[in-house]
Structure 1
């Protein structure tokens, strides 16, 4: 029997689609190290919500796990940079950072080719 979809997953899907997942965390959702910088509240929330979407607990998101979230599902191929059919937390972070940079450029009215 499938677990019910947690409400926090909706927030993660929106955050991923809008590039709001913090790009600074250096650990996987299940890992912590004393050498890493302290996580922000946003990073902790993003990791928790990633785990909620990871229905089978394997540390990565499959197409089936994100299928109920159209924005996240639409971005799946772009986020899956190693083309293994899954999106890791690191891939989510990289995708979010790229998306934020593109949005910032668009808001500033500059295209990547405009920068010297």
Structure 2
């Protein structure tokens, strides 16, 4: 199922081991990748790779409520909510997220990502 495939790929981008590995990041991100961060900043592939590979201590990210809309046979929009996991398993830094994934000869790659701050939500397994 495509939703599960892209959910797993998306969540892998939250993993500090993936985020600190430039080759793995470049394998998951499309060469034309762009991001509009929750801060309002815009990032290219080069910007985001340099940023996340060198970010040091990284937050644990919780994600839930994944939904998929397949826009074309090789393009899919994945939307979900995320938050940082703070002390005592409390959530903070709530974000609505949208990622555009494109299937290439090398597999699915994230082409675009946007994070938008949102109000708090209850943590639940999805």
Please give the TM-score of this superposition, normalised by the length of structure 1. 0.30
Q: Which has the higher contact order (CA 8 A, sep 6+)?
A: 1
TM-score, structure 2 as length reference: 0.29
The structure with the largest alpha-carbon Rg is 1
Of Structure 1 and Structure 2, which has the larger fraction of its residues in helix? Answer: 1
